Structures are given as structure tokens and as C-alpha cells.
Amino acid sequence: MFWSYVKITVRNVIRQKLYSAINILGLAIGVAACITIILYVQEELSYDRYHEKADRIYRVALSARIGGNDFNVALSAAPIAGTLLEEFPEVETTTRIGYLGGYPVIRYGDKVFSEERYTTADSTIFDVFDIPFIIGDPKTALTQPNSLVLTESTARRYFGDENPIGKLMTSDKVNERMVTGVIKDFPHNSHFHYDFLLSLATSPDSRSTNWLNNNYHTYIVLKEGASAEELEAKFPDMIRKYVGPQVEQALGVSWDQMAEDGSSYEIFLQPLTDIHLHSHLDREIEVNGNITYIYIFSIIAAFILIIACINFMNLASARSASRAREVGIRKTLGSNRGMLVRQFLIESIVLTFASVVLAVILVLLILPWFNNQVGLQLSFRYSNLPWIVLGTILVGILAGSYPAFFLSSFNPVIVLRGTMKSSGRGSRLRSSLVVFQFTISIILFTSTIMVRNQLDYVQEKNLGYAPENLLVVEKTDDIGQQIQAFKLELAEQNSVLEVTNSTCIPGEPPSGESVFGMSTPTGDQYQILAMYFTDFNFLNTYGMKMAEGRFFSKDFSMDSNTVVINQAAVEAYGVEDPVGKELIVFGGPDNQNARIPIIGIIQDFHFESLHSPIRPMVIVPYRTRIFGGPGPTFGRYTTLRIQPYDISATLASVEAIWAGFALDQAFEYTFFEDNFNALYNNEFRTQTLATMFSVLAIFVACLGLLGLASFTAEQRTKEIGIRKVLGATVPGIFTLLSRDVLNLVLISALLSLPISWYAMNNWLENFAYRIGYSLLTFIIASLVALVIAVFTVTWQVIKAATTNPITALRYE
Amino acid sequence: MIKTKDLCKVFRTEEMETTALNDLNIDIQNGEFVSVMGPSGSGKSTLLNVLGMLDSTSSGEYHFNGEEVSLHSEHQRADCRKRNVGFVFQSFNLIDELTVFENVELPLFYLKVPGAERRKRVDEMLDQMGIAARRNHFPQQLSGGQQQRVAVSRAVISNPKVIFADEPTGNLDSSNGKEVMELLAELNNQGTTIIMVTHSPTYAEWGHRTVHLFDGRIVAEATNGKPHA
């Protein structure tokens, strides 16, 4: 029985080529999209779950409000780890990973690399995390100072096939580190990926008792059954005991007084497995994912699948007229309803199965390309296959249930008499399903365009400087004081217009953030300012503008003891005529606060992504005495404003000059715009994905529409024939037939307006600087959907409208 | 075999009521060949559908082989139908997706006859009908006469007690029509009861008697001269 149904299904597929292609292809695309998204979601949800103690590991983070400024950082102070272990019995182990500002240059033999994934870590890191060793002993690898553990690929990079254990590597030509272990590379679903782990015992700061410098990512393991909430509840007392006195000493204000002034200081725990999708603190180790996008893409996956299922149901019910006779005959010959339901369900499951097989093949073929497009490393998980089979049967039943119960209900007397009319109810249902499909399509389409517009906006918005034609040579701090000579030589090049060296550039985290004070008529005001250290040519090179006063200049010998602040800082302090006033800097060597004159106000510029508003900042020239000693004298970034032509020649000459100073060290550069735009990688990925999937959704919906149109035209062949006999023209018939589609798309557009409005406004709130919901975009999206829909049905409609009426009438 | 008493069939829509069969009384003996004639709309097809248990009665009694069918549920009717009744239609009503063999096999399928026996019976039937060479063809590949022969084969494969034929010759030319009539007469000779609706007085005469319907009533009944061999 079963095989006979399969046989009939296969013959039906072959006989009804258009119908079958639409059905199987449409569903296959839907399922392929769905599987791809599920792979993506599974990947994102799998982060950090591979650690054996994953459900007991927490990261210690800080949320504080001091002087009206909020800190939300993934860091904590050096002594916290030890204190937690000593004072709270529920803590089993702790470990710290250092937060390093710079990137060392590592040498072994003739191998030299500037290493970005280099950090310090407590020896207990291997007790907390599952980090498999290839060579070495996790118990002792990081216990001694200057011990270095490498990942497998890094070891191969420096040592080839040589055994690296016991070898010495030089860091910044200053320190020698001994390799004590080689570990497996971190899997891609880890929230951190380091190539080097240096024993934290190497750093004297690791033994610091200062609770105010937060320089460590601290992780703790709770004992089985211990509650994180209960532990967190004990933190306020710990903070009062340790942080309170140190704050009092630094600021001269009592802990209680600060709390009264609205300050707060909270240490909290983040479950390890929540970090990748839920944590958006400052100073995360890597850019994390976002749970919102997981939800959005899951919904899109469901939508595409539903659209494809709707096609299936719609086409099957539209074809009911041609299946009706078969139902009638089978009933006459003794089939009961249950047997017919079974037949149609099996048919549906067989078709679904074909689609899913096709879909899996599609996914396997497309995944490499897809990964490349969106910058992911998804791979097909064969462990999903049982679920896919189960899903197939479910989708088959879901998509087949309506036609099965609908078709099997036919009365054989009526269908065989040939007087069965396609019921009004059926066509109304089909119309609503089409409306549903197009509503989703228009929403997706509108959103895609708006995401694109917003990203264009953030890229084109005036950043407060000219981001074009800026070449950034990185890690120039490696040549130390030679930077001056390097800059001079660069400036002599015709292709180089301006050169500047700074510790930081827009798009990268500021070089520091510190509390500065200012005397105002209402008393001293304290604000956290982001800090940049630059040379005198920073303003000119970037093309920034002053609002008041002047930037640093060689013409003023005193300028290495002045600062410039931005307009946002002026506003934050709430002072008038800030030029000439002084910034109060805390913490000199003798705890004497220093005062530095402000010589100018720089116009606000975006030094962070447009997700955040422009924060108060201070620009400090090199050598300025700050925090009790002279500031840095050179920085990591040398920015060149270059001629917009002959870029490759310019690059070659800059590299040659660099080689003259840096000798064996690699020339690393970026173009400023590329670097800055990387801040929107998450959004670019969203845009790429949303574009792909909305195009797919519309395509699948149109496939369905094409099928429906062909059946409508077929069904109405007689009506069209009669109308033509009575004098209807071809354009008249065309209008008649396409009007239905037009109405459906218009209804869809109306329905999608509020939904897309709500969805897009929500998304746009992620940006501090954003476009509004654009009605024009919505109208364009709707029109495009309309045109595509009309275009889809045109071929079928024209075919029907131009048929010779005699043929049409003979069709009866 | 078939006996009705005051049989009525009324079709109701929201606006109107149509009486298709009106207090109809008919008595058909086992082994009889009855022709039903009448103008369009007189209720011929409805009578056939009701007697063939495709359709329910509105009122009155209907005894089939001693069973009171008018009280049966649809499910019971379907069960009774597949065991006792075969149909032949004007438009053949073969399933396009099935081969000749599979079309003929279908009733046995629904009777849950085991596969080996099904094949044997269908092969014999096709042989007997002279269409064995066409067993793997699809209906569209056959002439009208051949299609109707397949349809007749399908109607008799389950050895029904009664065959209902609704204008079986309506779509055929005269030579093919005659062939089909000969088939039916042969089946009748073997003992199968046949009830046939037709427009053709010539074919009607192949029956033992002809019943004339008008507005849902039997208005005349005539015994035919001699049945054809």
C-alpha cells in the first residue's frame, strides 16, 4: 500500500512538472535556509559550553557609577581573585587573565612576529577551563615567572617540527620567556582565543593590593550546588571592607558620602555560558555575539519555512479540482476517508523528504560560500540528521494535512458529476495565506533596506574628521624614540601630506579613562574623560576642527604641559569659557593633585562607533607630566594622510622607510576607514544575512504565487473563453486576472507597515546616531514586492488571456 | 436483490429544494439486466447513485440483498458497496496516474486482497478482456473503447453482485459501443445483475426490461422482447 502511494506520488511529480518544481524547490530552499540558520544559532549557543565545569564558571565584572559616570567593565582588580578564594567557602578555584594594553614583538631565531593574542594568566587557568595540553604539565606550566605556554599553531609558526619545550623566546628584545607547554588551539566557540599565555607570576602588578585598578578578567569556579546569587549578596560587604578605604584615600571623600552623592560600586558574576551572547560590557576580550540577532534569525528561519509550507498547502488545495476526480473514483471503488488521508499525507511526506534531501545537498554546497560571506565557520552537523528526519515528517504532515483532509472530504457523486466548484472558502484561505507570505516578505524587505540605509548613514555621517585617505601604520611604538626620525622621513615624501603619531586612533579603545576634576562656580566637578596621547600634528592629519582656543603647536614651548578637551567634556563639567581653566589630575607621587591648563576645545568627533554618543575626552600631548610623571613620548599608531592616487607606490615607499628603522619587523598597516567600519561588523553581517534571507523569502513566496496563478488561470479558462466570446479584450482580461494579486499585495503592505515600523524602530535604538523609520523606504519595498508579484503572474495571465476562446470552451 | 419502497431523494440548497426521486418503487431480481431511460433531469443518475450506495436516501426504504441500506452510515454504505457493487461510467473515470493493471487492481487493494492473488486475478481478467498487452499502459495511451474495457474490468474484478453502468456507451462510437454492450450482456449471462442508464433505445433493448423515469418517478416499464445472447 505504502509503496503504491509512493509510486503514485512519483508519477504525479513527473506529470506535473511546473507544480512539482515549485513545490519541491520552494520547500527545499525554505528548509535549506532554515537548516543554515539553525547551524548558525547552534554555533552561537555552543560558546564556552565545552568546558567540563561550564555551568559553575563565572566571570567577575564591575558596574559602577562615580561622579555621574558609568563604568560597566568585564574587568576586576588584582586582589579580588585571592580574596574570593580565601573568604568565601563556596568558591572552588579562581583564575585571572591579564588585560594588556600593548602587543609585544616576539622573537625566536629568525622568526619575528608582533603578537596580538598574547596575555598573562594565573597557573590555575587550566583548573578552571578545559585547555588540553599537547606537551607539558598543566599543573606546573605557569607557576614560575617567565613561563610561556603556546598554542599548537603558534608553536609550529615559530618552531616548525622542533620541540619548543625549554626554548627561550624574546619579548620586545627585553625579556626572555621559557616555553613550558603547548596547548591545543582554542576552539572557535570560545569567547577568548589567545596564542600565548605568560605566567601571571611574571608581573609584579599581579600581587598588587590596589582595588581601584581593574586590569584583570577574573573567573571563578563555584563548588557543586553553590548559588551565585547568594555569593553575590555577600559582595557589598567585601566592597565596603576593601574598596571603601582606598576610595576614601584617593578622593578624600568618605564611602558613605559618595553613596549619598549617587555613586555606586557593584561587583557581579556573569555565568560563563552567558558571556558570548549576553555580555556587552566595556573591555570584553573579543567582540561578542548578540542574543537579539539569534532571536531575529530564528524568527526569519521559521518564517521562511512557513512560507514554503504555505506554498505546499496552497498549491495542493488549488490543484484539488484535478485531484478531485481521483478521490471520487477511489471512494467509489471502496476507499474510505482514512485511507485517502493516509495517501495524501504519505504523498506530502514523500515530497517533503525529496525537498529535504535537496535542501541538505544545497546546504552542503552553499555553506563554504555562506561562511565566506558572513565571516563564520559553520559546518554541517550530522548529529542533526535524526532531527531533520523528524522535522521532515512533521513538516510533511503539517503541509499535507490541509490538502489531505480537504481532498478526502469530497463527495464522490459530486466530483464525478463534474459539477464541483472550487469552494469560496478554499480560495479565501488561499488568499489569506498569500497575504501572510507577502506581509512577511515586505517586512523583511523593508527592514533590509533600512538596515542598509542606517549603515550607509553611519559610514557617511560626518565623523568630525576626514576619514578618507588615511593610512595607519600600526605598532610603530616598537621602534621607540626613532618614531621622530621615521615621521620626518615620511613627511619628506610627496605622496604623504601629513603625519602624526598617537597612542590611539578613533575606532580603537581610548588609551585610558580617568577621573579629572575642574573648578566650577558650584565647586569642584569630577568627570571621567577618555584619554588620547598625541603629538602636535594630530589635529591637522585627521582634519579635525577646534571650537575654541588652539591645538598644541611647536610655536609654544610650554605646550607639553597643557591639554585640549572636547565639547562634550565642556558640557559635562558645565563651565563657561573653559579655555584657560585647569584640569585637576589626581594622584601625583606625593598624592599632590596636579593642575594642567586647557588651551583649546576641540570640536566633538566620533572616536567610538555611532552606537554610542560622543563621550567627554581629553587630548594630552606627549611628555606632559600627568599622574605624577611624564606621559608617554610615542604611541602605537602613526597615521599618514596620503595622496588619493598611486596608493600602491605610496605603500611601497612607506614600507621601505619603515624597514630602514624596524629592520626585521613586519610592516603592518590598515586604511583608517576599513578599520573604523569594522566597528559595524555585527551589523554588516546582519545586513548580509537579512538581505540573503529576505530575497529567499520573496523568491519562495513568488514561486508559490506563480503556481497559484497558473492554476487560477487554468480554472478560469472557461470564464475567460466566455468573456472573450462576449467581446472582452486581452488587456481587459489581463486586468481582471492581475487585479486579485494586486489587492492581495496591497493588503499585505498595509499589514506589514506597523510591524516593520515597530521592528525597525527597535533595531535603530542600538545606535546613538540613527536615521528614522522611512515611509518612502516602506513604499519602495511594497512597490517592488508588487511589481515582482505582478511580473510573476503575468506570463500565466497572458497565456490565459490570449488563448483562443474556442479552445478554452472546448476544455470543458 | 434490490427493492425500494417510496424512495425519495431531495437536494437542498439554501434557496431551493429539488426532488430528484419521488416515492420511487422498484424491484430488481438477482440476475436481471435493467435499462433505465428518461430525459435529462429525470433522476436517472441519482437513482443509480442511490442504488449504488454512493449517495444516501432522503426517505423511504431501500433493501439491498436483504439489508436495509437507507439506515446505514456512510461508512457502512461504503463497506457494503465495495463488497457488492461495481461501477462503469460514461467518462470511464480511470485514474490517469495509474497503469491499466493498477487501475484494475485498485478495488482488490481496498478489499485487502493479498498481493499475489491480486496479480493473478488481474492478469486473468486482462487476458479475458483481451487487453493483457496493454497492462503497463496509461489510460491516455488507449482508445476510448479500450479505456471502457479497462473500466469494465475494474468494475467486475471484485466479483460484484451488481454492476451499475451510467451511460457506458455515451462516449464511444457505435462499434466500440456494441463491444461494451456485448461485455455487459456476457457478464449478465454469467449471473451478474446489471442496471444501466442509457439514452439509446437500441442499447436499452439489450436489457430484460426498460424502466422510464420522468421527474423522479417511474412512468413506464416495458419488458423487452428477447435478451441478446
pLDDT 10s digits, A356-367: 999 999 999 999
Angle at B209 between CA B203 and CA B210, to 5 degrees: 60
Tally the residues of chain B: 229
> If pLDDT is split at 50, 70 and 90, which confidence band does A487 have?
very high
> If pLDDT is split at 50, 70 and 90, which confidence band does B228 have?
very low
Cell (9 digits) for A677: 567600519
Contact flag A332-B93 (C-beta cutoff 8 Å): yes
Which residue has better confidence, B133 or A296?
Answer: B133
What pLDDT shows up at residue A590? 56
Helix and strand totals (H; E) in chain A = 25, 27
Query: Which residue of B54, B75, B97 is in closest CB contact with A15?
Result: B97
Which residue has better confidence, A319 or B35?
Answer: B35
Contact flag B95-A336 (C-beta cutoff 8 Å): no
Q: What percent of chain B shows pLDDT beyond 90?
A: 45
Q: For residue A625, what are the β-bridge partners? A: A630
Give whole-number Cα distances, A717 to A50, A796, A803, in Å: 62, 11, 8
d(CA A96, CA A124): 8
pLDDT 10s digits, B154-164: 999 989 999 99
Query: Which residue of B87, B97, B107 is in closest CB contact with A12?
Result: B97
d(CA A349, CA A393): 6
Whether pLDDT at B93 is above 90: no
Taking alpha carbons only, the member of B198, B215, B218, B219 closest to residue B43 is B215
Angle at A38 between CA A34 and CA A44, to 5 degrees: 150
Mean pLDDT computed over every residue of chain B: 88
Task: Say whether residue B97 is in contact with chain A using an 8 A CB cutoff.
Answer: yes
Whether pLDDT at A102 is above 70: no
Whether pLDDT at A293 is above 90: no
Contact flag A11-B97 (C-beta cutoff 8 Å): yes
> What value does the mean pLDDT take over residues A4-18?
80
Residue of B nearest to A12 (CA): B97
> What value does the mean pLDDT take over residues A324-352?
85
Chain A residues with a Cβ under 8 Å from any Cβ in chain B: 1, 4, 8, 11-12, 15, 325-326, 328-336, 339, 412-413, 416-417
Residue of A nearest to B113 (CA): A1
d(CA A742, CA A731): 15
What percent helix, strand, coil does chain A show, rounded to 5? 55, 20, 30
What is the rounded (10 degree) CA torsion for A47, A52, A54, A60? -110
- Considering only CB atoms, which chain A residues are within 8 Å of B82? 333-334
> If pLDDT is split at 50, 70 and 90, which confidence band does A490 have?
very high
d(CA A103, CA A172): 9
d(CA A69, CA A63): 11
Give whole-number Cα distances, A599 to A585, A602, A762, in Å: 16, 10, 42
Tally the residues of chain A: 812
Whether pLDDT at A557 is above 80: no
- Considering only CB atoms, which chain A residues are within 8 Å of B55? 413
Question: How far does the CA of residue A325 sit from the closest CA of chain B (Å)?
Answer: 8
3-state secondary structure A176-224: EEEEEEEECCCCCCCCCCCCEEEEHHHCHHHHCCCCCCEEEEEEEEECC
> What value does the mean pLDDT take over residues B198-217?
91
The DSSP call for residue A282 is B
Which residue has better confidence, A317 or A591?
Answer: A317
Question: How far does the CA of residue A10 sit from the closest CA of chain B (Å)?
Answer: 9
What are the DSSP calls for chain B, one per residue? -EEEEEEEEEEE-SS-EEEEEEEE--EE-TT-EEEEE--TTSSHHHHHHHHTTSS--SEEEEEETTEEGGG--HHHHHHHHHHHEEEEETT----TTS-HHHHHHHHHHHTT--HHHHHHHHHHHHHHHT-GGGTT--GGGS-HHHHHHHHHHHHHTT--SEEEEESTTTTS-HHHHHHHHHHHHHHHHTT-EEEEE-S-HHHHTTSSEEEEEETTEEEEEEE-S----
Taking alpha carbons only, the member of B24, B27, B25 closest to residue B1 is B27
d(CA A201, CA A146): 8
Cell (9 digits) for A386: 535524526
d(CA A546, CA A154): 46
Q: What percent of chain B shows pLDDT beyond 70?
A: 98
Whether pLDDT at B229 is above 50: no
Residue of A nearest to B109 (CA): A1
Taking alpha carbons only, the member of A718, A733, A736 closest to residue A806 is A718
What are the DSSP calls for A379-423, one per residue? ---GGGHHHHHHHHHHHHHHHHHHHHHHHTT--HHHHHHT-PPPP
Strands, E assignment, A552-687: 563-566, 582-585, 594-602, 617-621, 625-626, 629-630, 637-642, 669-671
- What DSSP element (H or E) covers A781? helix A775-802
For A49, the 3-state DSSP assignment is coil
> What value does the mean pLDDT take over residues B65-71?
88
pLDDT 10s digits, B5-50: 999 999 887 778 888 899 999 999 999 999 999 998 888 888 998 9
Mean pLDDT computed over every residue of chain A: 86
Pairing of strands A523-534, A617-621: parallel
Cell (9 digits) for B97: 496516474
Pairing of strands B162-166, B85-89: parallel
Whether pLDDT at A812 is above 50: no
Query: Which residue of A328, A334, A417 is in closest CB contact with B82?
Result: A334
- Considering only CB atoms, which chain A residues are within 8 Å of B102? 4
Task: Say whether residue B80 is in contact with chain A using an 8 A CB cutoff.
Answer: no
A-contacting residues in B 141-170 (Cβ below 8 Å): 154, 158
Task: Say whether residue B49 is in contact with chain A using an 8 A CB cutoff.
Answer: yes
Taking alpha carbons only, the member of A516, A623, A602 closest to residue A551 is A602
Mutate to test the interface with B, among A323, A325, A329 (most CBs of B within 10 A): A329
> If pLDDT is split at 50, 70 and 90, which confidence band does A418 have?
low
Question: How far does the CA of residue B93 sit from the closest CA of chain A (Å)?
Answer: 7
> What value does the mean pLDDT take over residues A270-292?
89
By the 10 Å C-beta count (0-12 exposed, 13-18 middle, 19+ buried), A280 is classed as middle
What pLDDT shows up at residue A6? 83
Cell (9 digits) for A765: 535604538
Question: How far does the CA of residue B110 sit from the closest CA of chain A (Å)?
Answer: 6
> If pLDDT is split at 50, 70 and 90, which confidence band does A375 have?
confident
What pLDDT shows up at residue A811? 43
Pairing of strands B193-197, B162-166: parallel
Question: How far does the CA of residue A685 sit from the closest CA of chain B (Å)?
Answer: 48
What pLDDT shows up at residue A603? 94
Task: Say whether residue B112 is in contact with chain A using an 8 A CB cutoff.
Answer: no
Contact flag A325-B93 (C-beta cutoff 8 Å): yes
d(CA B134, CA B145): 13
Q: Which ranges in A46-104 belong to alpha helices (H)?
A: 80-87
- Considering only CB atoms, which chain B residues are within 8 Å of A322? none
What pLDDT shows up at residue A7? 82
> What value does the mean pLDDT take over residues A502-515?
86
Whether pLDDT at A18 is above 80: no
- Considering only CB atoms, which chain A residues are within 8 Å of B95? 326, 329-330
- Considering only CB atoms, which chain B residues are within 8 Å of A14? none
Task: Say whether residue B107 is in contact with chain A using an 8 A CB cutoff.
Answer: yes
Whether pLDDT at A355 is above 80: yes
A-contacting residues in B 166-225 (Cβ below 8 Å): none
Lowest-pLDDT range, A216-230, A385-399, A588-602, B88-102?
A: A588-602
- ipTM of this predicted complex? 0.74
Which residue has better confidence, A229 or A429?
Answer: A229
A-B C-beta contacts closer than 8 Å: 51
